[in-house]
């Protein structure tokens, strides 16, 4: 209680002795925010001062006094008539008192801002491998991927109970279902370079990403007998463990790497001599940094909620038995099957219009096989028999040389650049400019075109439209003469027409 409040109560008791028995009591005629005023606050996106201006204008208009309408305001019939209208300070105080901080933030900046003021409960801490959470996170930096600067994405799985990162995969560019399968394979296996945290989880919690909901990924979780929980979109608070991991990776790792793009700094008009730009990491170097950081997280970092233990110590202290799967059995689960039966020929096996060969195919032409492949990895495929037994790996026959791929990449880049320039010029021609106005007048277009220029452009457009409307197959062609050397496919049709 402030000194000013006490003096106000004393002055009120001197002016009205009957009120001195209950100083500070709520007045019966205290102004309160009604539902109609709440609607006006929503109309003005939380601008309480603008709502107060409309209330004042409404009261003046009802009293017959001259009043200028508030530009852009709500219809006059939607504004309640208050008698008297409270002062601006009283109105703002009532808004702060009757509306919560979340409601005020939601009116001004939307539901996302209101959610920042909500209180969320914590799920009970269960046992290891009971629930995993998975997500993609884009690193806000550029890495050198085969001569091209791209923003890498990290896909990882984390155990909710122990906060141990079980699997990680790094993708140069946008991730896909192949990124999820690679991270899932690293998370499930506990031998070799993986583990010791891992195994088959009971539940996996993800957001509503299209790649997480792909048929291949859902099929892999089904084969592992893992319950898949698809959370509502834009609900990061429902998978807070992996969201916290994303935030920690940004602050603890990405922010200190070369090429970090979110680092605020002064913008210099001229580049200082001798001030070299940081050389971006290669994709291999960035991947090594991410894997080292994930290893440090599991073995050295001590997150809150683990009683001072590291995730690996919490994992090893949990006596819950683990469910493992062999690498050979996991191999088939991580690959996609197109569902067709093919035959080996003298050119190998054909898939998507290409031939794939392998040394193990010798002497097996005519055998029926099935193809399994990693999504987007079309340089090699895995061939199985009809029972699902792995026969061998087949590589793309007549694959382009690295020199051809470099030249093709340069050609495609030049073509894309040319198309962008042409599109930019076309947009400049299509852009309409209007004259500025200082009085309410109709819009006036700018840009003079001669009659000859207009006729020339319209004629060119008309010619292209006629070419698009052409129907070359509307009238069938006459049969070829008998003395012509025609393909065999046309001869029976010609004889039938003569009959």
Average pLDDT over residues 470-496: 71
Percent of the chain whose predicted confidence (pLDDT) is above 70:
89
Residue 395, SS3 per DSSP: strand
**What average pLDDT is seen over the chain?**
82
pLDDT computed for residue 471 by the predictor: 76
Please state which of the ranges 125-134, 202-211, 363-372, 453-462 shows the lowest mean pLDDT.
453-462
The domain made up of 131-263+278-317 has a fold known as: Nucleotidyltransferase; domain 5 (3.30.420)
Q: Please report, in angstroms and rounded to a whole number, the separation of the first and last CA atoms in the chain.
A: 111
**Is the pLDDT score of 154 beyond 90?**
yes
pLDDT bin (cut points 50, 70, 90) of residue 463 is low
Element (H, E) at 43: helix 35-43
Which stretches within 253-317 are classed as H helix?
283-299, 311-317
d(CA 153, CA 187): 17
| CA atoms lying within 13 Å on the CB side of residue 295 | 9
- Dist CA 24 CA 4 (whole Å): 12
For residue 270, the model assigns a pLDDT of 57
Range of weakest confidence among 93-97, 373-377, 387-391:
373-377
> In whole angstroms, what is the distance from residue 123 CA to residue 117 CA?
19
pLDDT at residue 74 is higher than 90: no
How many whole angstroms separate alpha carbon 290 and alpha carbon 301? 15
Outline which parts of the chain fall under CATH 3.30.420.10.
Answer: 131-263+278-317
pLDDT value of residue 499:
47
Per-residue pLDDT at 273: 54
Q: Does the structure show a pLDDT above 70 at 266?
A: no
pLDDT-derived band at 202 (thresholds 50, 70, 90) equals very high
Distances (CA, A) of 126 to 129, 159, 314: 9, 10, 12
């Amino acid at each position: 209680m402030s000194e000013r409040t006490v003096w106000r109560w004393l002055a009120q008791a001197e002016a009205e002795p009957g009120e001195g028995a209950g100083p500070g009591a709520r007045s019966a005629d205290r102004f309160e925010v009604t539902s109609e005023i709440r609607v006006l606050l929503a109309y003005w996106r939380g601008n309480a001062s603008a709502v107060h201006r409309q209330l004042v204008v409404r009261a003046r208009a009802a009293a017959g006094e001259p009043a200028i309408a508030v530009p852009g305001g709500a219809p006059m019939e939607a504004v309640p008539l208050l008698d008297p209208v409270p002062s601006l300070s009283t109105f703002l105080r009532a808004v702060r008192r009757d509306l919560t901080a979340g409601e005020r933030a939601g009116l001004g900046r939307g539901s996302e801002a209101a959610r920042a003021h909500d209180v969320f409960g914590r799920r009970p801490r269960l046992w290891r491998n009971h629930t995993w959470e998975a997500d993609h996170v884009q690193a806000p930096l550029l890495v050198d991927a085969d001569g091209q600067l791209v923003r890498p994405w990290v896909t990882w799985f984390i155990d909710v109970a122990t906060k141990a990162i079980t699997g990680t995969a790094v993708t140069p560019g946008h991730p896909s279902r192949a990124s999820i399968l690679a991270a899932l394979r690293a998370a499930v296996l506990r031998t070799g370079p993986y583990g010791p945290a891992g195994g088959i989880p009971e539940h996996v919690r993800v957001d509503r990403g299209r790649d997480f909901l792909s048929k291949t990924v859902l099929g892999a979780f089904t084969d592992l007998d893992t319950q898949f929980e698809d959370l509502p979109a834009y609900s990061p608070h429902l998978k807070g463990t992996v969201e916290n991991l994303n935030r920690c990776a940004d602050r603890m790792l990405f922010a200190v790497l070369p090429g970090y793009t979110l680092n605020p700094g002064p913008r210099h008009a001229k580049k200082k001599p001798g001030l070299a730009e940081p050389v971006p990491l290669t994709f291999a170097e960035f991947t090594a940094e991410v894997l080292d950081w994930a290893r440090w997280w599991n073995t050295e970092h001590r997150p809150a909620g683990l009683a001072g233990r590291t995730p690996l110590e919490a994992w090893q202290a949990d006596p819950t038995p683990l469910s493992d799967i062999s690498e050979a059995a996991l191999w088939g689960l991580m690959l996609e099957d197109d569902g067709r039966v093919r035959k080996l020929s003298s050119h190998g096996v054909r898939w998507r219009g290409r031939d794939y060969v392998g040394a193990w195919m010798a002497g097996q032409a005519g055998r029926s096989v099935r193809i399994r492949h990693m999504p987007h990895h079309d340089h090699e495929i895995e061939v199985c028999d009809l029972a699902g037994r792995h026969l061998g790996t087949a590589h793309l026959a007549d694959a382009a040389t690295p020199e051809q791929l470099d030249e093709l990449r340069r050609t495609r880049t030049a073509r894309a650049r040319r198309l962008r320039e042409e599109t930019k010029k076309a947009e400049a021609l299509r852009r309409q400019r209007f004259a500025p106005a200082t009085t309410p007048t109709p819009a006036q277009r700018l840009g003079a075109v001669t009659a000859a220029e207009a006729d020339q452009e319209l004629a060119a457009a008309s010619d292209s439209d006629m070419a698009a409307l052409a129907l070359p197959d509307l009238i069938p062609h006459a049969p070829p003469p008998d003395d012509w050397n025609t393909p065999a496919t046309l001869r029976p049709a010609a004889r039938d027409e003569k009959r």
